[in-house]
Structure 1
Amino acid sequence: MLRAAECLIEAERVLNQVLDGVAPDQWRIRVPPLPDGPDPARPTPLDALVRHHVRTVAALPDLLAGRAADPAHLADVADLEHRQDLPALAREASEKACAAAAAVADPTAPTGDDALRAEELLWRRAVGAALMAHEVSVHRGSVNPLTEHLARALWERTEPEAARWREAGWFGAPLGPVPADVSWRDRFLMLAGRDPHPLWDR
């Protein structure tokens, strides 16, 4: 299995665990802008963010098969606006996307996104899911949910090309200085321009 696929699967697992812990009165919490969110310029209510994420994830199997997302293949999420069981909805889409990611054998295979090859698309989805898991978790009053294994893998992939990730709008200006003994979680988030502890630092 491609390392990018492994990271996507782990990032989705972490994100699904975070969503499982969201209380009924927390779905209107506003989450800071995310690079692959519905609006990269302003905070988004958590329920709207999850619905957008589900649409994005549901399109992945088609994209990895080299075709644009077919509306017929998104039938399972066609009633997004009416379903209230958002964690279950996210998990359904995630399971299908992760199965498709695990089946990718050629990292250079073209995708339904003309600008991206399979490996790059998987890395973007992994980074997007990891950043979303972090922001949702800390803004609902919990802690950084990323595993050290996942955070280190994402850091090792993105750090040599951090300028390109920033140019593409995925990373903000890096935070620093980075202490020598900082965790991989904090190291990756600071590289991405994300405060690892935004509520505790105030």
Structure 2
Amino acid sequence: MLHAADCLIEAERVLNQVLDGVAPDQWRIRVPPLPTAPDPARPTPLDALVRHHVRANAELPDLLAGRAADHADLAALTDLTDLEHRQDLPALAREVSDKACAAAAAVTDPAAPTGSDGPPAEELLWRRAVGAALMAHEVSVHRGSVNPLTEHLARALWERTEPEAARWRELGWFGEPLTPVPVDVSWRDRFLMLAGRDPHPLWDR
């Protein structure tokens, strides 16, 4: 299994744990702009952000197999009326995440093409891992909790992205890095500061 897939699986696990803790009255919280949001330039209500993430995960097995996803099916998957009769949003997110992670774990060729014109499989998996990790952080802290990333995951993401942080910024995934970085900072904070995100946005003000 590719190291990128390992990190995606861990990032999805952390994100699913965060979503499991969302209270009914927190689904309209507006989460700061994220590269994986429906509109990366604007804050997004949490429920809309999660539905968008579910759709992205639902298409991942097809993309990794080099196929185009059925977008009509993906839209129906997260229809709110249907959700009221099927299951709650965190359960749906976990169900679809499990399938996406299984597809990621099956990838053995880093250079395999994805979709019709997507990046190589390894690059796509790294982007998804970084996106899930950033989403887990922002959702957690903006619902009043703490940074949920594990040190193991954060260090792996930092080691992958730090040598080419400028490219991640050009892609729109990272903002300007936050500096100075304390010598004894955790890997969680180091990765988030590299990505241009405040590790403790609600406590530092």
Shared fold (TM-score greater than 0.5)? Answer: yes
TM-superposition CA deviations, 1:96-115 (whole Å, max 9, x none): 00000000010010110514
1:101 pairs with 2:104 = yes
| Paired residues of 2:57 and 2:96 also in contact (CA < 8 A) | yes
| Count, aligned residues | 201
* 1:129/1:179 CA distance change after superposition, 3 Å: same
TM-superposition CA deviations, 1:138-189 (whole Å, max 9, x none): 0000000000000000000000000000000000000010001000000000
| Structure 2 match to 1:17 | 17
Q: Matches of 2:99 and 2:116 in 1, distance apart?
A: 18
Query: Given residue 133 of structure 1, which amino acid in structure 2 is its aligned partner?
Result: A
For structure 1, which segment, 37-46 or 138-147, has the greater mean C-alpha deviation from structure 2 after superposition?
Answer: 37-46
1:145 pairs with 2:148 = yes
Q: How far does residue 23 in structure 1 lie from its aligned partner after superposition? A: 0.5
Q: How far does residue 73 in structure 1 lie from its aligned partner after superposition? A: 6.1
| Structure 1 match to 2:79 | 80
| Structure 2 match to 1:132 | 135
Report the 3-state secondary structure (helix = DSSP H, G, I; strand = E; otherwise coil) of the residue aligned with 1:59: helix
| Structure 2 match to 1:41 | 41
Report the 3-state secondary structure (helix = DSSP H, G, I; strand = E; otherwise coil) of the residue aligned with 1:187: helix
Q: Matches of 1:74 and 1:30 in 2, distance apart?
A: 23
Q: How far does residue 67 in structure 1 lie from its aligned partner after superposition? A: 1.3
RMSD: 1.3
Q: Matches of 2:77 and 2:197 in 1, distance apart?
A: 33
Query: Given residue 186 of structure 2, which amino acid in structure 1 is its aligned partner?
Result: S
Compute the TM-score of the two structures, normalised by the length of structure 2: 0.95
TM-superposition CA deviations, 1:1-23 (whole Å, max 9, x none): 10000000000000000000000
Q: Matches of 2:116 and 2:123 in 1, distance apart?
A: 11
